[in-house]
Amino acid sequence: MTDNAVIVGAGVVGLATAHRLAQDGLTVTVVDAARAGAAGASVHNAGWIVPIMSTPVPAPGMLGKALRWMARRDSPLYVRPSPRPEHVRFMINMLRHCNPRAFAHGVEALTSLNERTLELFDEYEKDGIRFEHHRVGQLLAFTTRHTMEEYRAATAPMERIGHTAVPRTGDELRDLEPALGKQVLAGLHCPQERHVDPASLVKGLEDRCRELGVRFLYDSPVTGVGTRGRTVTSVLAGGDEVPGDLFVLAAGVHTGPLSRLAGHPLPIRPGKGYGFDDTSGAVNLRHSVYLGEAKVAVTPLSNRLRFAGTMEFGSSDATIDRHRLRGIADAAHTYLPDFPLEPQPQGWTGLRPMTPDGLPVVGPLPGKDNVLVASGHSMLGVTLAPVTADIISGEVSGDRPSADIARPFDPGRFAPQRRRSPAGG
Ligand SMILES: Cc1cc2nc3c(=O)[nH]c(=O)nc-3n(C[C@H](O)[C@H](O)[C@H](O)COP(=O)(O)OP(=O)(O)OC[C@H]3O[C@@H](n4cnc5c(N)ncnc54)[C@H](O)[C@@H]3O)c2cc1C
């Protein structure tokens, strides 16, 4: 019988899990290394709720793109050369998944996982969680018809869960969003997609958790794990021992080192993103807009326009490469000509928890009877937080209606004897 759950990580995934387990009647403690309200990538992201983007990052052709872009310091995808063995191993493993079979498997798994996403966000509101939530749809804008067609084909599998991408001409897109410039020649309109203010979602979840009696320990980095055989008995957090019957590792990019402490290292590595917030009012949008070729997300929030993009591997701190930020601002100006090229915006960064196969890691940690993992959500952590919490709840209660949906995300797929299977041919 599990009464006392300890969740490591107060990002959107840890908080969604805490909320769900508290609803289930468990006594829940959340421990986090940072101070309150400073959750890593969970506040620094584009805030899109996008089942239409149920695609893993490793994709056929990614290697070619990465190599072409290596020389460009403002490119949307960058693999920083690094001799660190864990980085090299991770990148090689990711390249093994850049094939059509592994990609199709990932799309199928993520699409099924996203089937109830919108319903679960609606349930948040019904439960009294307060957050900035926009149900206005999304536009994908392209400067070539060819790229639009590529994306259109990629979004076809999501039709079966009710998410559609309707082709539009440049002028039709400008009817929906007049700020888009003449360079935009084609696009897709995705009416079911939504966006949130991610910081408001984190705050809303934490507030509701507190109402449900969840205890929070901030400034408490987990540095040790107490064990008895196959059971974890406590974590050492900020120097204090925090006991529990069940432990959930939801520490974003730090879930890798934590899983090592718990006895089974998982390959979760950072994929750094950049962004900035514009409060000038130079550009007004209603929909969230994807600047397709530049891979930049633009999100209209109540008091600002948020720009986010770039996937940088091999970098694990918050330093800002001005060239990458410049790349996002230049793209903004290209697609949205009223966005000024100067001044250079003040940026922020966020570290996405990446896995070599591009799929989240959700379920029991091999070798331990009472440790669950909820991490590795890559570009979709906000979107997938509620359904992740649902799966963890099913694991704890033993009532697992979503067991089939959860199987592709089992942490056991990274156990050494099974390492060959997910990559496919
Ligand atoms: C630029 C950018 C744009 C994005 N846009 C979107 C989007 O539009 N839609 C979407 O769905 N997703 C998006 N994402 C992805 C999303 O932000 C992440 O997948 C998600 O935030 C991961 O949440 P998390 O809770 O797993 O990790 P985090 O938010 O990183 O939280 C982990 C927490 O664990 C804590 N922690 C770490 N180590 C320890 C330790 N040892 N002890 C205790 N606590 C610890 C940290 O302090 C942190 O608070 C984007 C990401 C980036 C960077």
In tens, the pLDDT along 45-68 reads 999 999 999 999 999 988 777 777
Q: Is the pLDDT of residue 294 over 90?
A: yes
Return the sign of the alpha-carbon dihedral for residues 133, 347, 73, 251.
negative
Give strand pairing partners of 282: none
Q: Pocket around ligand 1: residues whose beta carbon is below 6 Å from it?
A: 8-14, 31-34, 39-42, 44-48, 221-222, 250-252, 254, 258, 273, 275, 297, 308, 350, 352-353, 375, 377-383
pLDDT in tens, 389-405: 999 999 999 877 677 88
pLDDT of residue 287: 98
d(CA 345, CA 364): 42
What residue type is 183 in one-letter code? Answer: Q
Residue nearest to atom 19 of ligand 1 (CA): 381
**Helix, coil or strand: residue 349:** strand
CA-275 nearest atom, ligand 1: 1
Question: Can you tell me the mean pLDDT for 148-174?
Answer: 97
Distance 396 CA to ligand 1 centre (A): 23
pLDDT in tens, 200-247: 999 999 999 999 999 999 999 999 999 999 999 999 999 999 999 999
d(CA 7, CA 235): 10
d(CA 251, CA 261): 13
Superfamily grouping for domain 1-58+97-132+195-268+356-425 = FAD/NAD(P)-binding domain (3.50.50.60)
pLDDT in tens, 320-342: 888 889 999 999 999 999 999 88
**Residue 78 to residues 72, 312, 318, 321: CA-CA distances in angstroms?**
8, 5, 16, 12
Question: Can you tell me the mean pLDDT for 105-134?
Answer: 98
CB proximity list for 138: less than 8 A, separation 6 or greater? 48, 50, 52, 189, 190, 193, 195, 287, 288, 289, 290
Question: Can you tell me the mean pLDDT for 115-126?
Answer: 98
Segment holding 322, helix H or strand E: helix 322-335
pLDDT of residue 423: 47
Task: Name the one residue in this structure whose structure tokens are 């897709």.
Answer: 188
Cα 68 from chain centre? 25
Distance 54 CA to ligand 1 centre (A): 18
Question: Can you tell me the mean pLDDT for 291-307?
Answer: 97
Is the distance from CB of 176 to CB of 189 less than 8 angstroms?
A: yes
CA-47 nearest atom, ligand 1: 8
Of 341, 273, 340, residue with least CA distance to 308: 273
Question: Can you tell me the mean pLDDT for 167-196?
Answer: 98
Q: Return the best residue to mutate from 222, 288, 328, 377 for the ligand 1 pocket (most ligand atoms within 8 A of CB).
A: 377
Distance 57 CA to ligand 1 centre (A): 16
Distance 337 CA to ligand 1 centre (A): 31
